[in-house]
């Protein structure tokens, strides 16, 4: 009996065929990078104040003092949602009274922005916030827009794997790319916030589905030695490249509709990839379509200048077609014993709070001091060394210590921001980027760590359930950014505290580095610092610790 990897080993690991698949599938991830974070510019909130109609009979002095001042970050700024009652100040203006000298402004009656708002165009010509006035009483719609996008991501992650198992990797990959690109294009014609948001949910479904299916297709086509490279320096790094392209597009295109149009172009450019990216031979074999699978491998051999055997896939020889019947498992099995329940609860918290930190810092980047586009670019750029460092650390050091270490680094520097004077903008930005580096590194290690902790029987379910917790974290992350409207450093205090907290929790996990992967629930290691009643366990044959894949999502 030989498995798929043995049958196709004659192809080699890094020939022209593998390099082509590696770079084309990685390139298909680039649109995910800017679509996943596009909301930071599409839903940006420029500085604004109540509009005073040009027809109002006000002197220049009263027009300049028509909006009350409020204290923000230690300085007085015009109020964004209130103005002095227009009828009263028009009467004072007609009487020739001067504001501040003849009239005490603090005693004047105020009213809401009944005539709308004036939005600054210094940074953005238009966003969905300026288009539909999503400020003041409607400012809750802005974080909800981001959250509903991530709700779409959550829904897409449920169905993407099932669809690709049923209809094939390649067809679902390009279908979800079409969904992401097509519905992004339809958003351009949105007539209200509700229409934009509903379409955004569908874009989120296509975005994560495209990512997941491309990841699956790459890991099934590429050999063992290339898979971990593909899942880190391939998928994750090219996602970061797409993220870096977003501020470049947004810098030159300041109108949200035209920006959306520009962001759909790379998706259209991916259409020719259909003729270069093959279907997964593994999936074809699972569907008993041996001739199609052989045809793909023969073309790969020809591209690699290798002579292929006459018969590549013998149905009687392929071990994958004779899978033993597996015991049915349910989600409650993740809580069957006190030990596994404790590990599961800690894993859910680890995934969710790490996700909160990653997405909140990413969404908040344009709100930092200085140039919004440069800050967003730096936030994307810092992810590349974070992925590389995570990959290097995973090869040599214990899991719980390196994950806890980078979480302490990320959370600690975020807590330091409150001590930085408001004038030290560069230092604040540097600390935010260092915090993003630590949290991104931790995020990229979680798939490996979780897969190594759980036994084979429930491993896939455990990774799926805990990664769902990360989607929940991304849904609530925009509201951490929303805290910045009340205090500049409040989001960093909350995120830093939660990150340090989950770093401490990580130290109580059992260590998985260099250990044999468990096959049964009884073989799982015990949580550190907790005592559980010992149970008898059967001796099991030692097996080699297999490689597991790394991905940031």
Q: What is the 3-state secondary structure (H, E, C) of 463-532?
A: HHHHHHHHHHHHHHHHHHHHHHHCCCCHHHHHHHHHHHHHHHHHCCCCCCCCCCCCCCHHHCCCCCCCCC
User: Taking a C-beta distance cutoff of 8 angstroms, is the pair 213, 154 a contact?
Assistant: no
Q: From the DSSP assignment, how many helices (H) and strands (E) are in the chain? A: 22, 6
Determine whether 325 is exposed, middle or buried from the number of CB atoms within 10 Å of its CB (0-12, 13-18, 19+): exposed
State the helix-helix crossing angle for 169-187 and 193-221, rounded to 10 degrees: 160
58 plus 161 within the same structural domain? no
- According to the model, what pLDDT value does residue 379 have? 92
| Within-domain flag for 372 | yes
Determine whether 494 is exposed, middle or buried from the number of CB atoms within 10 Å of its CB (0-12, 13-18, 19+): middle
- According to the model, what pLDDT value does residue 410 have? 93
467 plus 505 within the same structural domain? yes
Domain count, the chain: 3
- According to the model, what pLDDT value does residue 543 have? 39
393 plus 300 within the same structural domain? no
Report the range of poorest mean pLDDT among 197-206, 226-235, 381-390, 494-503: 226-235
438 plus 510 within the same structural domain? yes
The domain boundary residue, chosen from 289, 309, 324 = 324
Determine whether 449 is exposed, middle or buried from the number of CB atoms within 10 Å of its CB (0-12, 13-18, 19+): buried
CATH code assigned at 489: 1.20.1250.20
Query: Cβ neighbours of residue 430 under 8 Å, at least 6 residues apart?
Result: none
pTM of the complete model: 0.81
176-218: pLDDT as tens digits: 888 889 999 999 999 999 999 999 999 988 887 777 778 778 8
Residues 480-497, mean pLDDT to the nearest whole number? 86
Report the distance separating Cα 380 and Cα 239, nearest Å.
Answer: 9
Asked if pLDDT for residue 313 goes beyond 70, the answer is no
332 plus 275 within the same structural domain? no
Determine whether 525 is exposed, middle or buried from the number of CB atoms within 10 Å of its CB (0-12, 13-18, 19+): middle
Angle at 115 between CA 114 and CA 121, to 5 degrees: 125
| Within-domain flag for 542 | no
Residues of 131-155 as b/e, b for ≥16 C-beta within 10 angstroms? Answer: bbbbbeeebebbbbbbbbbbbbbbb
427 plus 312 within the same structural domain? no
Report the distance separating Cα 147 and Cα 156, nearest Å.
Answer: 14
Q: Which two tokens mark 337?
A: 């014993």
Report the distance separating Cα 486 and Cα 482, nearest Å.
Answer: 8
| Within-domain flag for 541 | no
CA-nearest of 138, 249, 113, 262 to 193 is 138
The domain boundary residue, chosen from 324, 357, 386 = 324
At residue 83, the 3 state secondary structure works out as strand
Domain extent, residue 512, equals 327-528
322-344: pLDDT as tens digits: 444 445 666 777 777 888 888 88
Query: Cβ neighbours of residue 544 under 8 Å, at least 6 residues apart?
Result: none
HSE on the CB side for 436, CA within 13 Å? 25
| Within-domain flag for 536 | no
HSE on the CB side for 490, CA within 13 Å? 11
Residues of 42-79 as b/e, b for ≥16 C-beta within 10 angstroms? Answer: bbbbbebbbbbeeebebbeebeebbbbeeeeeeeeebb
The domain boundary residue, chosen from 119, 150, 181 = 119
311 plus 351 within the same structural domain? no
83 plus 203 within the same structural domain? no
Share of the chain above pLDDT 90, in %: 25
| Within-domain flag for 125 | no
Beta-strand relationship, 117-119 and 110-111:
unpaired
DSSP conformation class of 98: P
Pick the more confident residue, 56 or 547: 56
In which band, very low, low, confident or very high, does the pLDDT at 131 lie, cut at 50, 70 and 90?
very high
CA-nearest of 469, 422, 434 to 450 is 469
Query: Cβ neighbours of residue 139 under 8 Å, at least 6 residues apart?
Result: 45, 485
451 plus 333 within the same structural domain? yes
448 plus 494 within the same structural domain? yes
- According to the model, what pLDDT value does residue 154 have? 86
- According to the model, what pLDDT value does residue 202 have? 92
308: left (phi over 0), alpha (psi -120 to 50) or beta: beta
Asked if pLDDT for residue 548 goes beyond 50, the answer is no
Q: Which two tokens mark 451?
A: 């897969």
Report the distance separating Cα 192 and Cα 198, nearest Å.
Answer: 10
Q: How many CB atoms are located within 10 Å of the residue 324 CB?
A: 5
| Within-domain flag for 538 | no
User: Taking a C-beta distance cutoff of 8 angstroms, is the pair 16, 304 a contact?
Assistant: yes
In which band, very low, low, confident or very high, does the pLDDT at 5 lie, cut at 50, 70 and 90?
low
153 plus 88 within the same structural domain? no
| Within-domain flag for 128 | no
3-state class percentages of the chain: helix first, strand second, coil last, to nearest 5? 65, 5, 30
User: CA of 533: how far to CAs of 53, 86, 338, 488, in Å?
Assistant: 75, 74, 9, 49
| Within-domain flag for 35 | no
Query: Cβ neighbours of residue 202 under 8 Å, at least 6 residues apart?
Result: 152, 179, 183
Residues 460-481, mean pLDDT to the nearest whole number? 83
- According to the model, what pLDDT value does residue 536 have? 44
In which band, very low, low, confident or very high, does the pLDDT at 546 lie, cut at 50, 70 and 90?
very low
- According to the model, what pLDDT value does residue 300 have? 84
In which band, very low, low, confident or very high, does the pLDDT at 520 lie, cut at 50, 70 and 90?
low
User: CA of 271: how far to CAs of 32, 220, 237, 275, 509, in Å?
Assistant: 15, 22, 22, 9, 45
Beta-strand relationship, 117-119 and 48-50:
antiparallel
Report the distance separating Cα 510 and Cα 524, nearest Å.
Answer: 9
139 plus 106 within the same structural domain? no
Q: Which two tokens mark 456?
A: 């084979």
């Amino acid at each position: 009996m030989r498995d798929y990897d043995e049958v196709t080993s004659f192809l080699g690991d890094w020939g022209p065929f593998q390099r082509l698949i590696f770079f084309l599938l990685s390139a298909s991830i680039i649109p995910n990078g800017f679509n996943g974070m596009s909301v930071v510019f599409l839903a940006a909130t420029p500085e604004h104040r109540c509009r005073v109609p040009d027809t109002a009979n006000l002197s220049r002095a009263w027009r300049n003092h028509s909006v009350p001042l409020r204290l923000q970050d230690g300085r007085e700024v015009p109020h964004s949602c209130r103005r002095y009652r227009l009828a009263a100040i028009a009467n004072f203006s007609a009487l020739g009274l001067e504001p501040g000298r003849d009239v005490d402004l603090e005693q004047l009656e105020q009213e809401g922005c009944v005539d709308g708002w004036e939005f600054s165009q210094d940074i953005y010509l238009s966003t969905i916030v300026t288009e539909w006035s999503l400020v003041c009483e409607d400012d809750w719609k802005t974080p909800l827009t981001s959250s509903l996008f991530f709700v779409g991501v959550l829904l897409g992650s449920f169905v993407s794997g099932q669809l690709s198992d049923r209809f094939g990797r390649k067809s679902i990959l390009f279908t979800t790319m079409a969904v992401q690109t097509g519905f992004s294009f339809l958003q351009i014609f949105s007539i209200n916030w509700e229409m934009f948001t509903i379409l955004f949910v569908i874009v989120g479904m296509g975005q994560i589905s495209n990512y997941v299916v491309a990841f699956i297709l790459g890991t099934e086509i590429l050999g063992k030695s290339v898979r971990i490279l593909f899942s880190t320096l391939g998928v994750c790094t090219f996602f970061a490249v797409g993220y870096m392209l977003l501020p470049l597009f947004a810098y030159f295109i300041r109108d949200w509709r035209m920006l959306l149009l520009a962001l759909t172009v790379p998706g259209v450019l991916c259409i020719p990839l259909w003729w270069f990216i093959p279907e997964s031979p593994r999936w074809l074999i699972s569907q008993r379509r041996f001739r199609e699978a052989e045809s793909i491998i023969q073309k790969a051999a020809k591209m690699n200048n290798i002579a292929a055997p006459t018969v590549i896939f013998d149905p009687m020889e392929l071990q994958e077609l004779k899978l033993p019947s597996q015991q049915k498992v349910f989600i409650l099995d993740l809580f069957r014993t006190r030990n596994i329940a404790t590990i599961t609860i800690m894993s859910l918290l680890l995934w969710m709070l790490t996700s909160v930190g990653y997405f909140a810092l990413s969404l908040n980047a344009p709100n930092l001091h200085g140039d919004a586009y440069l800050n967003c670019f730096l936030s994307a750029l810092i992810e590349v060394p974070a992925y590389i460092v995570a990959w290097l650390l995973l090869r040599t050091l214990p899991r719980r210590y390196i994950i806890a270490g980078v979480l302490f680094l990320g959370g600690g520097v975020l807590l330091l921001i409150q001590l930085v004077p408001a004038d030290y903008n560069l230092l604040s930005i540097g600390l935010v980027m260092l915090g993003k580096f630590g949290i991104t590194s931790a995020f990229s290690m979680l798939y490996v760590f979780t897969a190594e902790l759980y036994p084979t029987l429930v491993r896939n379910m455990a990774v799926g359930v805990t990664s769902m917790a990360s989607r929940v974290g991304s849904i609530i992350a925009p509201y951490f950014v929303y805290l910045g409207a009340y205090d500049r450093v409040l989001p960093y205090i909350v995120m830093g505290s939660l990150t340090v907290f989950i770093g401490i929790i990580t130290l109580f996990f059992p260590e998985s580095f260099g250990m044999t992967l468990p096959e049964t629930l009884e073989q799982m290691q015990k949580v550190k610092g907790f005592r559980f009643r010992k149970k008898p366990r059967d001796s099991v044959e030692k097996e080699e610790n297999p490689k597991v894949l790394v991905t940031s999502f």
